[in-house]
Copies of this chain bind each other. A is one copy, B any other.
């Protein structure tokens, strides 16, 4: 009833916990993170975490799914907004903005997701979500190849490389996120990744 004197927490402790977990996992790795560290980041007692997630593994998977799901949503929103796309380059631009927007708000989430490849703790559900995102991205590549705007090759390979380049960009800017770049630098980076995908004139 009265606004909490201590903090903005409340109502969605689960959400707070997820955010805290993603932050700490991104910084120290899932396996390298101890539950008390998550609790501390969330300003909560350790026991509290267990009221919302039955185990560290469950927390890890929930965090993964939340992050991956958020990225997928942002992705879709970015593509949808602004009506039908006229060119693959334009669509790429929208995706780029989607990424940029997502990582602006969730820098650590993206870093956390990048970690997970050799994962020991991801449940089938989590992996299914990852696959969904991959499929979405592969579709984009494929239609770009059909229209002749994207270079030949296995769509998944191209996606993997483009995503890797984007991840490299984020790794470079560090925790500050893309905001540390000038609009000009950002445009250059976008152009560079597009060049990676773009079918070249001759050879």
Q: Residues of A at under 8 Å CB distance from B?
A: 26-32, 111, 115, 117-118, 120, 151-154, 156-158, 160-169, 171-173, 185, 188-189, 191-193, 195-198, 200, 203
> In whole angstroms, how far apart are the Cα atoms of A118 and B111 in the complex?
10
Per DSSP, chain A at the interface is helix
Is A192 a contact partner of B161 (Cβ separation < 8 A)? yes
Is A185 a contact partner of B154 (Cβ separation < 8 A)? yes
Report copies per complex. Answer: 4
Say which residue of B28, B32, B151 sits within 8 Å of A192 (CB atoms): B151
**Chain B neighbourhood of A197, CB < 8 A:** 192
Is A189 a contact partner of B153 (Cβ separation < 8 A)? yes
Is B196 a contact partner of A172 (Cβ separation < 8 A)? no
Is A164 a contact partner of B169 (Cβ separation < 8 A)? yes
Question: Provided the pairs A118-B29, A118-B111 are in contact, do residues A160 and B168 lie with their beta carbons within 8 angstroms?
Answer: yes
Q: Return A97 CB to nearest CB of chain B, in Å.
A: 18
> In whole angstroms, how far apart are the Cα atoms of A29 and B32 in the complex?
9
Is B157 a contact partner of A169 (Cβ separation < 8 A)? yes
**Chain B neighbourhood of A164, CB < 8 A:** 164-169, 171
> In whole angstroms, how far apart are the Cα atoms of A196 and B27 in the complex?
28
Q: Return A179 CB to nearest CB of chain B, in Å.
A: 15
Question: Which chain B residue shows the least CB distance to A185?
Answer: B153
Q: Return A198 CB to nearest CB of chain B, in Å.
A: 7
> In whole angstroms, how far apart are the Cα atoms of A195 and B193 in the complex?
9
Q: Return A122 CB to nearest CB of chain B, in Å.
A: 12
> In whole angstroms, how far apart are the Cα atoms of A188 and B150 in the complex?
12
Say which residue of B31, B167, B195, B203 sits within 8 Å of A32 (CB atoms): B31
